[in-house]
Structure 1
Amino acid sequence: MLRFLVRRTLGAIVILLIISIITYLLFFAIPADPARLSCGKVCTPQNLALIRHNMGLDKSVPEQYWNWLSSIFAGRDFPTGHCSAPCLGYSYVKQEMITQTIMDRFPTTLSLTIGSSIVFLIFGIGMGMLAAWKQGKAIDKIASSSSLVASAMQIYFVGPVALYFLVYQTHWLQQPTYVPFTQDPIGWFTGLLVPWLVLSLIWTANYTRMTRSSMVEQLSEDYVRTARAKGMSGMTVFLRFAWRGTIGTIITIFGVDLATLLGGAIITETTFDLHGLGQLAIGSVIDSDLSMLVGVTLVAAALIVVFNIIVDAAYAFIDPRIRLG
């Protein structure tokens, strides 16, 4: 296991290094001057030259990349102050340190991810198991049909509809907003309830179909038929064999989905005006804040790589047949 983790960690470092090179080079691929984009509407030649110098654009591209990469591990000094490691640079558009901005936005995305994940895992896996248990029955057809309809819906449609009926018309739920959990746990829960429900709707449909199809496949395996022939009850076979064979598939998909959500639920945060990583990425594109966009992209990529390692390592504990060297 230790050798596996070391090997995957080294591989992850190489992958992140390649991603950082690609994203940083894209910074120079656009047909515009990054310093001019960061200078604002009122931009004098003196200010433009100063920003270009502060951004390091007066140096060669390899030197600029090395300065940016080394600042992640050693920090960096900017005219506005010192940026401690890990330093992802400075946003001249927002006049903020990129690392601090991402850290300020991350709790919102984390709260949105945790709440919605709990909802869609409970309902998605539960409905999928029920549909597989009652395969071919009415409840199976209802679950399969409803999940198909839900998966075809989009958040930018469901979100405004949910706001109209649940918030503005009936006043059952409050306007979505983020309140830190440490300040007001109840306000944190009620403020994110609508986004949780909307985001989990589509994901619940996906996990319902995935759980059902995986369990139906497991129930048709030879070892399951053998267990039934030995006189084991249907519930024992269902939970002990079919469910255990499905866990690996669910964890694989969930690890990637969780990392994607942590990287920023872009449409959900934009729909409900939640100031998380997703909305930060959209705002960076609109404002042409390339430095911020590079930082958010690298963080999202790092989360996906790390969670893939965690998922692979979890296989050894889920399935004893797997041995990680």
Structure 2
Amino acid sequence: MTRFILSRIAFGVLVLFLLSVFVFMLFYVSPSDPARIIAGDKATEELMAQIRTNLGLDRPITEQYVTFIGNLLHGDLGYSYRSSMPVSELVVSRIPVTMSLVFGGMVFWLAIGIPIGIVSAKHPGSVRDRLGQGFAIVGISFPTFVLGMLALYLLYFVPTKLGFTLFPPSGYVPFAESPLQWAWHLLLPWLTLALVVAAVYARLTRGQMLEVLGQDYIRTARAKGVDERRVTYVHAFRSAMPPLVTQLGIDIGLMLGGVIVIEQVFGLLGVGSLAVTAVAMQDRPVVIAIVLLGGVFVVVSNLVVDTTYALLDSRVRTATR
């Protein structure tokens, strides 16, 4: 098991190294002047000269890259001249919002999607199965921003016009400040995110459960009189879990890089909204930081998934020996 984890860590480090090279070449080795793009069109020559000195743009390219990596390893993500503050402060201030949105939404989409998939698989062709598949189709095809705006209209604007408030329209309250206000402000974004993603998990769970429930060992367990709930949730669902864990790791890794649509609709100042602002303002250091942060999230989530996968299926561990 240790060898398996070390091999995955080494592969993750390699991926992050290649990503850092790609980002460095894309943003610093380009026909345009990096100092001009970072400082903006209205920057003075003195400011641009200072930026070139800080970035070491007058030094050999290999030395620039070594400095770039060294700064990253020390937590120095650069300086945003558009926002007049260190990039690390900008990004760190947005991460709690995105993490709260993603992990809270994850609880809801798993609680909604997996039970629907299990019920559909246990009763194929029934009314419950058709309802479950209908939910999955509607959820997958429904645009996220439309669902978010619909939720705001029905659960905020309509009640407000009637003289009472169910949910706030937008905003974020830190968990440490007030857990109840934190959950109240995030409930609509959680449900919006969960209803879309839960459709994917409902379909995936149904497909995996149908395949597993048709296996010989499941029929043998039933023939021996094993309780149906134990057959479903202990024997069948455990075998169906690995693909779900894989999908969960991919989703979490990608979403932690910024749930752009949800954050924009509900006015949440997370990593996604920061990315949109940085791209619009051509704030290159912030864009670089978000790209690298997204890569770290994806690598870490996949490492957790691979480890969980190995714990669930011993064949994964033995394959690496």
Classify the TM-score, shorter chain.
over 0.9
Which of 252, 259, 268 is residue 253 of structure 2 equivalent to? 259
Are residues 1:285 and 2:274 paired? no
One-letter amino acid of the counterpart of residue 25, structure 1: M
How much has 1:178 moved relative to structure 2? 0.9
SS at match of 1:170: helix
Are residues 1:301 and 2:304 paired? no
How much has 1:13 moved relative to structure 2? 1.1
Map of 1:161 onto structure 2: 150
The Cα offsets for residues 220-245 of structure 1, whole Å up to 9 and x where unpaired, read as 11222222233334333222221111
SS at match of 1:58: coil
SS at match of 1:323: helix
CA distance in 2: counterparts of 1:62 and 1:283, whole angstroms: 31
Map of 2:116 onto structure 1: 127
SS at match of 1:275: coil
CA distance in 2: counterparts of 1:216 and 1:224, whole angstroms: 11
The Cα offsets for residues 21-61 of structure 1, whole Å up to 9 and x where unpaired, read as 00111104665322222323532333322332233222333
One-letter amino acid of the counterpart of residue 200, structure 1: A
Q: Are 2:38 and 2:285, in contact at CA under 8 Å, matched by a contact in 1?
A: no
Map of 1:59 onto structure 2: 59
How much has 1:148 moved relative to structure 2? 0.4
One-letter amino acid of the counterpart of residue 49, structure 1: A
CA distance in 1: counterparts of 2:89 and 2:168, whole angstroms: 29
Map of 1:82 onto structure 2: none
How much has 1:112 moved relative to structure 2? 0.3
Are residues 1:26 and 2:26 paired? yes
CA distance in 2: counterparts of 1:31 and 1:112, whole angstroms: 39
C-alpha distance 146-251 of structure 1, shift in aligned 2 (>3 A): same
SS at match of 2:202: helix
Map of 1:81 onto structure 2: none
Deviates more, 1:92-101 or 1:150-159: 92-101
TM-score (norm 1): 0.91
Deviates more, 1:294-303 or 1:51-60: 51-60
Q: Are 1:68 and 1:89, in contact at CA under 8 Å, matched by a contact in 2?
A: no
- Let me know the Cα RMSD of the aligned residues: 1.7
Map of 1:113 onto structure 2: 102
Are residues 1:141 and 2:130 paired? yes
Structure 1 unmatched runs, 5+: 74-84
TM-score (norm 2): 0.92
Task: Tell me how many residue pairs correspond in the alignment.
Answer: 314
Map of 1:201 onto structure 2: 195
One-letter amino acid of the counterpart of residue 136, structure 2: S
Percent of aligned positions that are identical = 35
The Cα offsets for residues 128-153 of structure 1, whole Å up to 9 and x where unpaired, read as 11111222110110110121011101
CA distance in 2: counterparts of 1:165 and 1:30, whole angstroms: 48
CA distance in 1: counterparts of 2:127 and 2:272, whole angstroms: 39
How much has 1:320 moved relative to structure 2? 4.3
CA distance in 2: counterparts of 1:41 and 1:23, whole angstroms: 22
C-alpha distance 165-107 of structure 1, shift in aligned 2 (>3 A): same
Larger RCO of the pair (alpha carbons < 8 Å, separation 6+): 2
SS at match of 2:226: coil
CA distance in 2: counterparts of 1:69 and 1:139, whole angstroms: 54
Map of 2:264 onto structure 1: 270
Are residues 1:151 and 2:178 paired? no
Q: Structure 2 matches for 1:155-194, cutoff 5 A? A: 155-171=144-160, 172-194=166-188
How much has 1:315 moved relative to structure 2? 2.2
Deviates more, 1:105-114 or 1:51-60: 51-60
Are residues 1:91 and 2:80 paired? yes
CA distance in 2: counterparts of 1:31 and 1:137, whole angstroms: 62
The Cα offsets for residues 261-313 of structure 1, whole Å up to 9 and x where unpaired, read as 11211121122221111111111111111111111111111111111111111
Map of 1:76 onto structure 2: none
Structure 2 unmatched runs, 5+: 161-165
How much has 1:211 moved relative to structure 2? 0.6
CA distance in 1: counterparts of 2:43 and 2:314, whole angstroms: 64
